[in-house]
Every structure is written in structure tokens, then in C-alpha cells.
Amino acid sequence: MKQEIYDCIVVGAGTMGMAAGAFLAKQGVHTLLIDAFNPPHASSSHHGDTRMIRHAYGEGRQYVQLVKRAQQLWEELDHISDYKIFEKTGVLGIGAKDSPFLQETIEAAHKYDLPLEILTAQAMMERWPGITVPEHFIGCLEPDSGLLYSEHCIQAYKELALKHGAEMVSNAPVLAIDTSESNGVKVSTREATFYGKKVIVTVGAWAGKLFNHFALPIQPIRKVFGWFDAPKALYSSSHFPSFYIDEGTRMFYGFPVLNNTGLKIGRTDGGQPIDPDQHGQNFGVYDEDEGELRECLQTYLPASNETLLQGKTCLQTRSSDSHFIIDEHPEDSRVIIATGFSGHGFKFGSVIGEALSEIVINGSTQHDLSLFSLERFSK
């Protein structure tokens, strides 16, 4: 029997992969999505209800054009899907006046004419009585930013991909990708073998294992976040923003109380290096899982330092410079790798999906991805 050859196989149908599959299928590309689990799921990086989207970008102003396009695409998905995708809560950045992250945020806002309100410590505490900060801190409020409902995003793109004819194979870890055969790139799972003219690999923390014949500069990290009982009068999403707090040596992020979920908080940096195959939902196995979150709450949001309602873990795939990795495989241009999103990638899932689809279809993308080339690690 003749082996079917797909125009594109997407290996890893999570944040970036599912979006890429939707964009490809919508344009008539014969697409197969393969995932080790059944997305959306709680085994990698996209679960936990919410992710932040910021426009004035403290990680570097070169991200701003991408995130602006991502915002447009998320809002389009919100409009055409049956799911709530985006919530405009605003995003409040908190930290010392000389915080490099906040200064870059301010510069990015100036360069791209983004709305950004600079607040003194006193002004912050008057506007949001649930906040306590030292007098040398400032606030940077982005009124048009907010949060994404992460599982809704994945599910909406999944349904869109399938609606437009994409095929999906779930609970099928890919064991190998072989470029040596003439009839396409061979993608092998335990149960079956598939062939694709092009292959997009968006397996997150498993990228290093799948491409173990060359060294990807990434490290899977175990991360935690928790929801704490907090008074709605102070922290409800109707008046309290999504937020991040730059302490200088640590950075935390969080979300207001949505319905009855509690206030959510996590730490951006830190975490434990981990083999992704050993990852599990074991929040609390380390004292600092809850301890560090409570330290932040007690210092800056003391009225929310109440009962822990729920704690979860997730995987972060951190590149050596915390910038993304999006490039062709160094040995075969038919294979496109996207990984190393370093804990700040989810908000870009829509636009990265669009860009990956353009690379498959056109050989290039309208978006500037030069920052994410593998070549930077060999300089």
C-alpha cells in the first residue's frame, strides 16, 4: 500500500504547534498534528488557565511588533471561536525606578507609541489598596494588555485546524525524525510511521531529546504557580490588573481573582532543572514551591496571603539567552524547529503559528525572526 505523504507534519501540538496547524489547514495544506498527549493537557507548558500578554516588552523592544500582531490574531480567534480568549485586565509592572526590565518597558512604549502610565508607589497604593510597595518603586500600567485563557486558546486552534481538514494523532510520542529517505521526512511513533514534505517540531521541553545528535542550548525547568484565597474587594479582575513584580534578584507574575478562582501567582525565573519525562503534578514537594509565592504575597500583596486553594507545576524550556529558537534544522531545511520559549512565549503562540505556516508554504515569513536564529549561538 502506498504510504500517504502529508504536506506538513506538526510534531508537538501545544501552544505554537496547534496554532501552526490551524493556519496551515486553513490555507488548504494537508496537515497532520501529532502530540505525545491529548491537548490541551497538563503535562507541558500551556495549562494553568491563564497567561499574560504585554505589549511594551521588557525582554526587548524587538519583540513589540510580533506581540502586536499576536494580539490581533488572538482577538480574531476570540471573535470566530466559541471560547473566551482574551481579557483586557491591563498589566501593571512593579519594581524599582532603576529596574532594567521596567526601563526597557518604558523605552519600548515610547518607541512604538504604546499607552503606558507611570505611577509612583503612593499612587499605586491609593489606586489599588491591596498593593504594598516601598517608596522607591514605580508602576508601569499598560491599560490595553491583559491575559489569555491558555487552554481555551489551544482548544480553539485545535477545533479550527480539524474543521479545515487537519488530522490529529494524540497520545503518540514521536520517537525519531529521519531525513534520510527520499519520499519525505519520516516521523516515527511507537504505533505508526508518517511521512511529510515538511515537518515543524514544537515539542517544547522534549526538543533536546528528540534532537540529541546536536546540542540545542535549552534546559527544561520545573516551574510552579498557585492560587490563593484573596478578597474580591481588593483583587477582583473588575478593577485589579494582571501584574508582575521585579525584585531585582527575582521576578514574580500574577493574575487577579477571576470569578472564584483566587489570586494566581508564580515566579518567572528560578525553578529546578528537570528531565521532562520525570515531570508530574507534584506541587509542594519542595518547600519553596509555596514558600517563595507566599514571600512575594506577604511583601507586596499581603491581604492575598491566605489559604492556598490550588498549586500546579508546568514545564519551561529555557534557552541559554532566554530568547526563542526558531530556525531550520542545521542539516535539513525541510525540518523547522521552534523551541526555547523561556517562560515568556505563550503570548506569541498565535503569531509564531502564523510565521511557521508561512515558512512551510512560502519558504519565508513576513515576520522578523532573525533574533531567534540558531546562528547566534555559534558567534
- Residue 379: the pLDDT is 75
- For residues 156 and 114, state if they share a domain: no
Secondary structure (DSSP) of 282-311 = -TTSSHHHHHHHHHHHHHH-GGG-S-EEEE
- For residues 231 and 306, state if they share a domain: yes
Domain that holds residue 315: 88-146+219-319
- For residues 311 and 365, state if they share a domain: no
Single out the residue of 46, 36, 162, 147 nearest to residue 91, CA to CA: 147
Q: What is the pLDDT of residues 164-218, one digit of tens each?
A: 999 999 999 999 999 998 889 999 999 999 999 999 999 999 999 999 888 899 9
Count of domains for the chain: 2
Amino acid at site 349: G
- Residue 2: the pLDDT is 59
Give the Cα separation of 225 and 308 in Å (integer): 11
Any domain includes 63? no
Least confident of 22-26, 191-195, 257-261: 257-261
- For residues 226 and 124, state if they share a domain: yes
- For residues 228 and 121, state if they share a domain: yes
Torsion 237-238-242-245 (CA) sign: negative
Any domain includes 334? yes
- For residues 127 and 99, state if they share a domain: yes
> Cell numbers at residue 77, please?
480567534
- For residues 226 and 373, state if they share a domain: no
- For residues 132 and 156, state if they share a domain: no
Single out the residue of 48, 10, 46 nearest to residue 29, CA to CA: 10
Single out the residue of 150, 151, 279 nearest to residue 224, CA to CA: 279
Any domain includes 246? yes
Give the Cα separation of 32 and 102 in Å (integer): 42
- For residues 131 and 267, state if they share a domain: yes
pTM: 0.97
- For residues 236 and 315, state if they share a domain: yes
Q: What is the dihedral of CA 101, 102, 105, 109, to 10 degrees?
A: -160
- For residues 233 and 296, state if they share a domain: yes
Give the Cα separation of 273 and 252 in Å (integer): 18
Torsion 267-234-136-143 (CA) sign: positive
Q: Which residue has the cell 516588552?
A: 57
Q: What is the pLDDT of residues 27-78, one digit of tens each?
A: 999 999 999 999 999 998 999 999 999 999 999 999 999 999 999 999 999 9
Residue 326 belongs to domain with CATH number: 3.50.50.60
How much helix, strand and coil, in percent to the nearest 5, is found in the chain? Answer: 30, 30, 40
> Cell numbers at residue 110, please?
515610547
Mean pLDDT of the chain: 97
Any domain includes 15? yes
Residue 252 belongs to domain with CATH number: 3.30.9.10
